[in-house]
Chain A
Amino acid sequence: MNPSTYSYQLQTGKVRAEFFRLLPISLFVVAFGAAFGLAAVQKGLEPLQALLMSFTVFAGASQFAAVDMWGSEVSLIPLIAVVFAINSRHLLMGASLYPMLRDMPPGRRYGLLLFLTDANWAVSAQDYQNGKRNLEVILGGGLVIWIAWIIGTWLGVYFGGLLQDPKSLGLDMVLGCFLLAMALGGNKSPRTLVAWTVAAISSLAAWKWLPPNTHVVVGALAGGAIGFFWLEKKADDEDRVGVEEETST
């Protein structure tokens, strides 16, 4: 047993394995990156500027939204609001990894979070639900997705004209299908199903009636509220499972 107060040690071999585990999905990230690179140069960004954005921002949906707002000048507050709203799901994703990340020194903890993105987080969260602590995928998987995103952007800015319509091949649905497969691979207790129903309804309501890009956070918090009020009991008193409020002091 390691005497250090921080018990989580990243295993190099596992980081490498997770890199290759997410390699197939990152091939599709290359296609998204190419679509972004093309959109960016069409909106007047220089190739190197588009590459720099992919290198430092590394958050696809918000980058698409940002270059959509591009013109001879860009309004700052709307840009910040849109980027923050789209990426606010990171706040919840990061928070969900906290039970593992707190066993890591702060420097390494926040360094790892630079690579946090949907796909590698989904794998880590699913593994955690199944009782496996896997932060290696955040680093290894994040690295391969980040590299793919940069290569894709590079292809898009220089060879974007050659790009087939990615939508006709269904490539725009890769991330959606991936996240869905991750969700369905987790445990499906009655509590989870209730939370999912609540999350689905609230995210749809938010998508319809609340400001744009708030639906993920609204849906996720609504689903989380089910977990907050409905604690899963140990197997031995399963018959007492139910919605309980104000039981803890």
Chain B
Amino acid sequence: MTIETTTAGILALIAIMTVVTVITRFGGVFLMSFVTINPRIESFINTMASSVLIAIIVPMAFSGDAGSLAALVVTAVIMLAIKKPLPAIAAGIAAAGLVRYAGITSL
């Protein structure tokens, strides 16, 4: 099934994308309202939450160029060293820019 990208068609596509995205925003909380929170579920939620971040970042590091990898490594090192997010993020971004400026594409 396809939708033509006329004005009405585009509005329909945007509406569909909005509904799908809202379902993902609401769905987790809606389903959780049927679950009794016990220590085991609580433990699952907490571990899962920080794992979301890792599951976003690690494939990003492996699929990107040397610049993306440098950004993540520098951010991690500075964050672990001084525990302040903003300098860590700024240094990470600067590292990506520098590595790409130097023309290094893969390590």
Chain A interface (Cβ < 8 Å from any Cβ of B)? 24-25, 44-46, 49, 52-53, 56-59, 62-63, 66, 70-77, 79-80, 83-84, 87-99, 101-102, 109-110, 113-114, 116, 118, 122, 125, 128-129, 167-174, 176-186, 191-192, 195-196, 198-200, 202-204, 207, 215-228, 230-232, 248
9 smallest beta-carbon distances between A and B, as pairs = A223-B51, A227-B47, A219-B55, A224-B48, A170-B96, A94-B28, A95-B28, A199-B51, A203-B55
For the complex formed, measure the closest distance between the CB of A200 and the CB atoms of chain B, giving whole angstroms: 4
- Partner of A224 from the list B38, B47, B64, B86 (CB cut-off 8 Å) is B47
In the complex, chain B residues whose CB is within 8 Å of the CB of A221? 48, 51
In the complex, chain B residues whose CB is within 8 Å of the CB of A122? 53
CA distance A101 to B29 in the complex (A): 8
CA distance A198 to B67 in the complex (A): 25
- Partner of A183 from the list B15, B54, B101 (CB cut-off 8 Å) is B54
In the complex, chain A residues whose CB is within 8 Å of the CB of B104? none
A sample of 7 cross-chain residue pairs with beta-carbon separation below 8 angstroms, ordered by A number, consists of A87-B24, A91-B28, A95-B31, A98-B28, A181-B75, A216-B52, A219-B58
CA distance A208 to B25 in the complex (A): 26
Q: Assuming the A-B contacts A169-B97, A231-B40, are A185 and B79 also in contact, with contact meaning beta carbons closer than 8 angstroms in the complex?
A: yes
In the complex, chain B residues whose CB is within 8 Å of the CB of A71? 5
Seed contacts A173-B96, A227-B45; 13 additional CB < 8 Å A-B pairs: A46-B7, A74-B3, A84-B20, A96-B45, A102-B32, A129-B46, A172-B96, A176-B61, A181-B75, A183-B57, A196-B54, A203-B54, A228-B47
CA distance A42 to B93 in the complex (A): 27
CA distance A94 to B27 in the complex (A): 8
In the complex, chain A residues whose CB is within 8 Å of the CB of B94? 170
In the complex, chain B residues whose CB is within 8 Å of the CB of A96? 28, 45-46, 48-49, 52
Main secondary structure of the interface of A (DSSP, over half): helix
Any A CB within 8 A of the CB of B43: yes
For the complex formed, measure the closest distance between the CB of B54 and the CB atoms of chain A, giving whole angstroms: 4
Contact code string B85-98 (vs A, CB < 8 Å = 1, else 0) = 11011001111110
Say yes or no: B48 contacts A180, CB within 8 Å. Answer: no
In the complex, chain B residues whose CB is within 8 Å of the CB of A66? 13, 17
Q: Assuming the A-B contacts A95-B45, A96-B45, A200-B55, are A90 and B72 also in contact, with contact meaning beta carbons closer than 8 angstroms in the complex?
A: no
For the complex formed, measure the closest distance between the CB of B19 and the CB atoms of chain A, giving whole angstroms: 9
Say yes or no: A177 contacts B71, CB within 8 Å. Answer: yes
For the complex formed, measure the closest distance between the CB of A211 and the CB atoms of chain B, giving whole angstroms: 14
Say yes or no: A196 contacts B51, CB within 8 Å. Answer: yes
Contact code string B1-35 (vs A, CB < 8 Å = 1, else 0) = 11111010111011111101111111111011100
For the complex formed, measure the closest distance between the CB of B20 and the CB atoms of chain A, giving whole angstroms: 5
CA distance A75 to B13 in the complex (A): 10
